[in-house]
Chains A and B, each alone.
Chain A
């Protein structure tokens, strides 16, 4: 299959280019940019006039719910959702049931995902057995099975001796460790940011220092063990400042933020809207502003969806009893575009946060457009606004605080390895 993507605005964040060029796809790869290679015969021509052609999005966290939570969502439904959102590579955290702490589970997930021929799936292995924070998982085996890094998902390791040893062990093999900073004791029973809104609404709070206390521990242990640390889902202004300092001091550390946290804050909980019950909690306006500026200045490397599809019943509950999380893989592009517009950032810079930069964190070849690279592409209309409704979402989870919003960016075509895996009419 040879595809000619014609007349589009080609944005490649890695190369920093934003030009009007045609793209020629052959044999699953980018055959040429600009002029057709010799002997190219288009089986299909995609008219990309008025559309942006960019690398397929790379999402650092999307829960596919397999194995174990098929009643919430299935690999099929969520991979369809991913490509509908222009996401062509995604990382799935190990908090499945059972957790991804055995090579067999990882191999099965990878082969199931591969057989669907949709987005590329990169699993994170469990750092500790059953994510319990007690014994190390078989990291080398898991890496052989295809895990790109090791993580605890949202399960904190309370015992710092275990955390230290886990990092030491991972560092032995050069495996990156991805951790979300939250001190389990300080966050105990909390369901919302410990601030004005939680005080008024009587919601048990999670103080901001639950994040920074844990982050300080992680940064110091990573430094001591020379571990390549990726910090997941920052939520506080102070954490952004801490990462900025660590980077200035030369520590090899990266971090991401969830797309919801770039836009929402504690006030959006409104009258106990359980769709705003998220992990980490939506924090103050000041925190959100710090996350946005950290993202703009590169302190925060990437935006991810932290896609968490849930069934409706677990959200139709009083706020504190509802399950936290939001579906989001289809909103990653729209929410990034919305942020770019509001922050007046050029698209080529904003899109880096969902393409080239997350790919660099994963250390995989993705998130860039160049001759010879795999043809994983997203072609979208930047001027079209899409109204988010339960029906408009392919994900089995309809749990998002953005229901009813008109968001910019309509994905028209998604290509994975040169195949059109999603298309949508204007």
Chain B
């Protein structure tokens, strides 16, 4: 097996493809750097020149509004030139291969690719293919990873809870199909969270998920008891069509986060969600809009975290 493809010879971050296998110091460095950018986003002139003259290509092979927008804002606040490519509606439908597309963009001197793709591993393939001057950021690939989301979730947790090493965090819902869950699990176990739990029906938990260092619960009431952080995952409507779940109502009844359930967690527990939310499916509106929800902070912090990742990659 070759060297970790996201680190360069010096062990510094060349690409951000997954959180798995990244040393704790790198994660902390990203979070600390993000903290320094929080002020930028609150200034009147929200720009720093760290990426001036660099071009960032947003390569979205799968539809996304929120993630693409926050990457775009992050790049622009770093003074980069941003080019958005919505490949789902462009050349790939004309038969051009993924790597052909990347070659063409490399010829336009792209410095950074922000890639979202429906198939696990696509950003790895691109990273192995681009020249050593280019950087690839995974903005979500299949079920595999969504590292900047895992980092912004970690940032949010640190912001509200300070110390990772005394926390219980429950991740609830469709872990099977979730790149968000995988990245967050790797981030939390690396950052020293002693009690990471996943909660869901057996149909939505991947085989051997406990190997990732989590405890598995099928009873929501037990799974979130005394937790400091509850992360609700989005349950996509299409899961109801197959043999995975019978109905939205039944899912909500067993695994939805209602105010009554939330009361089982610690009184100061925070509620997170990567968005977009399905109110009434995985989360009750009263919780989503309640005082313990930090869902909008996640979005704000997401910009700072993405600025941090881009500036660190550009510096390496």
**A272 in contact with B145 given A195-B208, A318-B117 (CB within 8 Å):** no
Query: Do A272 and B207 contact each other (CB < 8 Å), given the known contacts A202-B144, A204-B143, A316-B125?
Result: no
**Is B206 touching A271 in the complex (CB atoms < 8 A)?**
no
Smallest CB separation, B310 vs chain A (Å)? 22
**B residues near A199, Cβ cutoff 8 Å:** 206-209, 211-212
Report B110-141 CB contacts with A as 1/0, cut-off 8 Å.
00000001011110110010000000000001
- Cα(A284)–Cα(B125), bound, Å: 24
CB-CB under 8 A from B209, the residues of chain A are 199
Using Cβ atoms and an 8 Å threshold, which residues of chain B touch A383?
A: none
Interface size bucket, A side? 20 to 34
B121 and A272 contact, CB distance less than 8 A: yes
Is A201 touching B144 in the complex (CB atoms < 8 A)? Answer: yes
Instruction: List residues of chain A with CB within 8 A of the CB of B143.
Output: 202-204
- B residues in contact with A204, CB < 8 Å: 143
In the complex, chain B residues 192-251 whose Cβ is within 8 Å of any chain A Cβ? 206-209, 211-212
Inter-subunit contact A200/B120 (CB<8 Å) = no
Bound form: Cα–Cα A317–B129 in Å? 11
CA distance A201 to B120 in the complex (A): 7
State whether B99 touches A320 (Cβ < 8 A): no
CA–CA, A317 to B144, complex, Å?
Answer: 16
User: Is there an interface contact between B99 and A202, defined as CB atoms closer than 8 Å?
Assistant: no
A202 to B209, CA, bound (A): 11
Contacts A313-B97, A319-B121 given; does A200 touch B20 at CB 8 Å = yes
Contact A202 B1 (CB under 8 A): no
> Is B179 an interface residue when CB atoms closer than 8 A count as contact?
yes
Give CA–CA (A204, B207) in the complex, Å.
Answer: 10
A202 in contact with B207 given A270-B1, A316-B97 (CB within 8 Å): no
Question: Are B97's CB and A272's CB within 8 A?
Answer: no
Q: Across the interface, which residues of A come within 8 angstroms of B23, CB to CB? A: none
A194-B120 contact given A200-B20, A272-B125, A317-B125, CB 8 Å threshold = no
Interface residues of A in 267-324 (CB under 8 A from B): 268, 270-272, 313, 316-321
Alpha-carbon distance between A268 and B1 when the two chains are bound, in angstroms: 7
Is B142 in the interface zone, CB < 8 Å from A?
Answer: yes
CB atoms of B120 and A207 under 8 A apart: no
In the assembled complex, which residues on chain B have CB atoms less than 8 Å from the CB atom of A268?
1
Residue in contact with A272 in the complex, picked from B99, B124, B208, CB distance below 8 Å: B124
Docked Cα-Cα span, A198 to B207, in Å, equals 9
Chain A residues engaging chain B, CB cutoff 8 angstroms:
194-196, 198-205, 207, 268, 270-272, 313, 316-321
A201-B121, A203-B144 provided; 14 other pairs, C-beta below 8 A? A194-B207, A199-B206, A199-B207, A199-B212, A200-B212, A202-B120, A205-B207, A270-B1, A271-B121, A272-B120, A317-B125, A318-B117, A318-B120, A320-B120
Closest 3 CB pairs of A and B: A202-B143, A272-B121, A202-B144
